[in-house]
Chains A and B, each alone.
Chain A
């Protein structure tokens, strides 16, 4: 398993939409390296034919009747919004970068 580089951590933070400062990168990259080292052993444990488990308790699709139930009012749904206008979430512009 490869060690994790500073550039790689920056790229991953980028994928996760987190602006990391240089100081944070200095701090986090070595810590992540240590953590990854310690979990790298996992690759050798399970044989090819072992099935993966995503949920410990077997899941099946769960359906309900398609009937109208209670739901949040627009006012309630917007109650935590950083900004709102005309009963809608008001967000920063979504176009303009690299377009």
Chain B
């Protein structure tokens, strides 16, 4: 494996600026890596990508090199390639959302975040695998087969954004975009040893993001360092008139905060450990690495207290009413009329539009999507609306109030990102409730619209798999995540003697020697 691709995006940008490499060279190096490890005839590849656009990426890279040569780079990351989750519209590139119902669909427009990547000069390597319509925590619900965890190919990479996390963790891409509705950026980050950020709701445009639950969805960075996430966040974030929920004010200084935090000094920072998001239900090694990370933050000068958010125990139930309700409405757009799969019912000579709609949705949607549509239809139906959806909206208020009270006492909250490390593929596929529990620590932030980050906290002693540390901040204070996250990263990497991913398997058996 080329040593070039092991660098962070910030390091690659420095190398480009210094003329040590070109965007074409490093884009090709990532395409080569994808070619070697992403798919193989025996079906044991990472399978992070649903579509690779070598031609488009290399053309964008060549244009980036011309700008560098002319001394006019388009952004700090001009020429650094990126992978994009397949739920974001990319003009001219297939966008399937991991679903058969959108197989072969090519959007006629770019999502705002994708347009911003192009304007900033980042070559798009391809589209990454995901649970169908972002519904899942393992990427096993993709209609195109699961993605595998680079740390152990028999295990899940998290979800729904397992493709983006696995691509970044396996050095197929230095950067990726994910989306997070209940933890789909942060939980894959935790189980693959990568960094993932869910920005403040409204902080990054959702225009061109195929909606699962509009009031919860956010686009965010998937990277190998906190600084890289800040750099990417500044490129994709900020007001977009095409998204009516977009916040019309400037982003806080994210890159600056990450650089400040990297010095490792947390004097004066108050951190609250959420009582309800630790202890029972958390794997012993996850809890251990979390406690050790918190101790490091104390050593760095942070003041750590325990805080209680009593309504967080109801967050999962609240989420599993609000999210399916919104999803069932959103997915009504897949009606087989204007785009997507259209099939007729078997044995019907001249089917009506409604019969075609029913047959197409039956054939095009997978199990989990059907479960959630039916659940949402139930929660919204007359007679149940007040008892379910109405109640969930009230509990959502109580969860937001818990955050407000906690942030009256501390600057950031901390918890493990996920209750366990990566589980084996197939383990929870027939038990939806067990699958939903993966997001127990990440969901509260989506309900409250507050930002969150997951950074690697080490490997669980019992299974040698990555554990994530989650930090949560008040709405619009994403900069705090970068300051505290970068400090924790610096302190942890000092202990490990380098990035956690340096301990991951190389995946190219013939070159294993070169890495170790």
Residues in B whose Cβ lies below 8 Å from that of A20: 362, 370
Q: Is B43 an interface residue when CB atoms closer than 8 A count as contact?
A: no
Q: Is A50 a contact of B433 with CB atoms below 8 Å?
A: no
Q: B339 — which chain A residues lie within 8 A by C-beta?
A: 80-82
Kindly identify which residue among A39, A92, A95 contacts B356, using a CB–CB cutoff of 8 Å. A92
Given the known inter-chain contacts A39-B320, A41-B314, A57-B449, please indicate yes or no for A83 contacting B342, CB distance below 8 A: yes
The interface residues of chain B lying within 8 Å CB-to-CB of A9 are: 374
Contact indicator A52/B247 (Cβ below 8 Å): no
Q: Do B345 and A19 touch across chains, with their CB atoms under 8 A apart?
A: yes
CB-CB under 8 A from A34, the residues of chain B are 432-433
- Among B332, B355, B395, B396, contact of A56 (Cβ-Cβ < 8 Å): B396
Given A27-B367, A39-B321 in contact, is the A17-B354 Cβ separation under 8 Å? Answer: yes
- In the bound assembly, the distance between CA atoms of A91 and B335 in angstroms comes to 10
Residue in A50, A56, A97 whose CB lies within 8 Å of B394: A50
Chain B residue at minimum C-beta to C-beta distance from A46: B394
Q: Return the CB mask of A42-77 against B: 1 if under 8 Å, else 0.
A: 110110001111111101001010000000100011
Contacts A19-B359, A80-B106 hold; do A52 and B396 have CB atoms under 8 A apart? yes
Decide if B351 touches A92 in the complex (CB within 8 Å).
Answer: yes
Stretch at the interface among B135-143, B222-230, B384-392: B384-392
B350 close to chain A: CB less than 8 A: yes
A84 CB to nearest B CB, Å: 10
| With A56-B400, A89-B338: A51-B317 Cβ-Cβ less than 8 Å | no
List B contacts of A27 (CB < 8 A).
367
Q: Are B354 and A18 in contact (CB under 8 A)?
A: no
Shortest beta-carbon distance, A67 to chain B, in Å?
12
Q: Report if B485 contacts A (CB, 8 A).
A: no
Cβ of B373 within 8 Å of any chain A Cβ, yes or no, is yes
The reply to whether B201 and A38 form a contact with Cβ atoms under 8 Å apart is no
Interface majority SS on A: helix, strand, loop or mixed? loop
A79 at the interface (CB under 8 A from B): yes
A56, B201: Cβ atoms closer than 8 Å: yes
Contacts of B201 in A (CB 8 A): 55-57
Q: Give the interface residue-count category, chain B.
A: 35 or more
Closest to B372 in A: A35
- For the complex formed, measure the closest distance between the CB of A44 and the CB atoms of chain B, giving whole angstroms: 9
Bound together, the chains give a CA A82 to CA B365 distance in angstroms of: 17
In the assembly, what is the distance between CA of A57 and CA of B350, in Å?
Answer: 48
Size category of the A interface is 35 or more
Q: When chains A and B are docked, how far (Å) is the Cα of A39 from the Cα of B365?
A: 24
Mark the stretch among B1-9, B250-258, B375-383 that contacts chain A.
B375-383
Q: Of residues B328, B332, B370, which shows the largest number of chain A Cβ atoms within 10 Å of its Cβ?
A: B370
CB-CB under 8 A from B374, the residues of chain A are: 9, 12-13, 16, 18, 28, 32
Bound together, the chains give a CA A26 to CA B289 distance in angstroms of 42
Find residues 169-197 in chain B having any chain A CB closer than 8 Å to their own CB: none
Q: Name the distance in Å between A10's Cβ and chain B's nearest Cβ.
A: 10
Instruction: Say whether, besides A80-B339, A80-B340, A17 and B357 are in contact (CB < 8 Å).
Output: yes
CB contacts (< 8 Å) of B394 on chain A: these are 45-46, 50-53
Q: Beyond A39-B321, A39-B388, A45-B391: 17 further Cβ-contacts under 8 Å?
A: A4-B378, A13-B374, A17-B358, A17-B361, A19-B362, A35-B436, A42-B392, A50-B394, A52-B397, A55-B215, A56-B201, A57-B449, A79-B108, A80-B106, A82-B342, A92-B355, A94-B353
**8 tightest Cβ-Cβ pairs between the two chains A and B:** A56-B449, A52-B393, A80-B339, A46-B394, A82-B342, A76-B108, A39-B317, A19-B362
